[in-house]
């Protein structure tokens, strides 16, 4: 039976390269994003290089729990690999229709909901893996004002706290999902020119394929089989103090659960 993977943010700079990279290892890949036309174009692009790739797509707004739950309920069969990669970094504070600050909803709750709702399809699968694309640019998680309701919204600060949360969620879910045989790891991808990097005021010196290298490796390589609860940069395991803060990790999971 062929292994199935989901990649979110899959027409973005790094996401498309991740989807292509994983498809290159022979997995069926479902590309997830919110714009159907862009998802279809990404598939066309990947097929030019990998004509035999089995590719599908799902147009979902990942800032919205209901959309993710519906997607999960409609999912048929098993799932072996989930790569949470989608992110946003609007320069002005915006909210979802449910009134949740957009970076918190997309970059953090989106990852949380994808894992919560999709991981049941991954239970007891051989070598099931979740990869959370985070960043080295991380920190400043402020539990007293996660959505910038009382402090001035700075998109860089909101982004950094969301990427810290991505790493912490990886540690929390690694512990929770161990019993189901699902590995969960986080990584920095690479520095690539993209909408996110531009909105942060940065450029990027690497190609999308270089940026996708560590996430694809974590999703597919035998070298990391059975590794879980770690943070990686350039295929190397790095100590992450956010992930070793077990009380903070539990608190974050509880906060996400409460939405
Ligand atoms: N680029 C870098 O140098 C760098 C460095 C460190 C970490 N990262 C991480 O790498 C990942 C990929 O980022 P990127 O640089 O490739 O940025 P990107 O090109 O802007 O890609 C982000 C993707 O996420 C999608 N997305 C945003 N909000 C969404 C929503 N509500 N629902 C569904 N999809 C949504 C975007 O779609 P739309 O176009 O429709 O918004 C886009 O496809 C992110 O997690 C980022 O934090 C990037």
Does residue 243 line the site of ligand 1, with CB under 6 A?
no
> Considering only CA atoms, which residue is closest to atom 11 of ligand 1?
85
Strands laid side by side in the 231-233 sheet: 55-59, 28-33, 4-8, 81-84, 128-133, 182-188, 231-233, 236-238
Does residue 187 line the site of ligand 1, with CB under 6 A?
no
Could you read off the pLDDT of 180-192 as tens digits, one per residue?
999 999 999 999 9
Could you read off the pLDDT of 37-61 as tens digits, one per residue?
999 999 999 999 999 999 999 999 9
Other C-beta atoms lying within 10 Å of the C-beta of residue 58? 20
Could you read off the pLDDT of 198-249 as tens digits, one per residue?
999 998 999 999 999 999 999 999 999 999 999 999 999 999 999 999 999 9
Res. 78: pLDDT tops 90: yes
Mean pLDDT across the stretch 90-117? 98
Q: What is the pLDDT of residue 199?
A: 97
Does residue 85 line the site of ligand 1, with CB under 6 A?
yes
Q: What is the pLDDT of residue 2?
A: 85
Residues facing residue 32 across a β-bridge:
8, 58
Res. 194: pLDDT tops 90: yes
How many angstroms does the Cα of residue 179 sit away from the middle of ligand 1? 31
Cβ contact 259:198 at 8 Å: no
Does residue 87 line the site of ligand 1, with CB under 6 A?
yes
Could you read off the pLDDT of 145-154 as tens digits, one per residue?
999 999 999 9
Q: What is the pLDDT of residue 256?
A: 98
How many angstroms does the Cα of residue 12 sit away from the middle of ligand 1? 6
Does residue 13 line the site of ligand 1, with CB under 6 A?
yes
Rounded to the nearest angstrom, the gap between the alpha carbon of residue 176 and the centroid of all alpha carbons in its chain is 18
Q: What is the pLDDT of residue 203?
A: 86
Does residue 33 line the site of ligand 1, with CB under 6 A?
yes
Mean pLDDT across the stretch 109-133? 97
Could you read off the pLDDT of 146-179 as tens digits, one per residue?
999 999 999 999 999 999 999 999 999 999 999 9
Q: Which atom of ligand 1 is nearest to the CA of 10?
A: 43
How many angstroms does the Cα of residue 208 sit away from the middle of ligand 1? 12
Res. 18: pLDDT tops 90: yes
Indicate the top mutation candidate among 14, 98, 190 to test ligand 1's pocket, ranked by most ligand atoms within 8 A of CB. Answer: 14
Any alpha helices (H) in 50-130, and if so which ranges?
Answer: 65-74, 102-103, 110-118
Give residue for tokens 């270089």.
210
With left for phi above 0 and alpha for psi between -120 and 50, is residue 211 left, alpha or beta? alpha
Does residue 11 line the site of ligand 1, with CB under 6 A?
yes
Which DSSP helix (H) or strand (E) runs through 24? Answer: helix 13-24
Res. 1: pLDDT tops 80: no
Q: What is the DSSP letter of 222?
A: G
Pick the CATH number of 4-257 from 3.40.50.300, 3.40.50.720, 2.40.50.180, 3.40.50.2300: 3.40.50.720
Q: What is the pLDDT of residue 9?
A: 98
Res. 258: pLDDT tops 80: yes
């Amino acid at each position: 039976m062929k292994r199935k993977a989901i990649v979110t943010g899959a027409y973005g700079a790094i996401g498309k390269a991740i989807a292509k990279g994983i498809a290159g290892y022979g997995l069926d890949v479902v590309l997830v994003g919110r714009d159907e036309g862009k998802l279809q174009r990404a598939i066309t692009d990947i097929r030019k290089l990998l004509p035999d790739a089995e590719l599908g797509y799902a147009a979902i707004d990942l800032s919205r729990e209901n959309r993710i739950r519906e997607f999960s309920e409609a999912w048929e069969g098993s799932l072996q690999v989930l790569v949470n990669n989608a992110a946003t970094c609007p320069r002005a504070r915006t909210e979802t229709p449910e009134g949740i600050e957009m970076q918190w909803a997309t970059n953090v709750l989106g990852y949380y909901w994808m894992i919560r709702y999709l991981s049941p399809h991954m239970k007891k699968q051989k070598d099931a893996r979740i990869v959370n694309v985070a960043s080295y640019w991380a920190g400043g998680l402020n539990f007293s004002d996660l959505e910038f309701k009382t402090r001035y919204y700075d998109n860089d600060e909101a982004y950094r706290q969301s990427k810290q949360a991505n790493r912490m969620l990886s540690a929390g879910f690694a512990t929770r999902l161990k019993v189901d045989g699902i590995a969960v790891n986080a990584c920095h991808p690479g520095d690539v020119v993209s909408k996110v990097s531009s909105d942060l005021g940065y450029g990027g010196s690497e190609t999308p394929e270089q940026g996708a290298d560590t996430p694809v490796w974590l999703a597919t390589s035998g070298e990391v089989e059975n590794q879980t609860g770690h943070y990686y940069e350039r295929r190397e395991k790095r100590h992450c103090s956010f992930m070793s803060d077990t009380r903070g990790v539990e608190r974050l999971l509880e906060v996400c659960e409460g939405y």
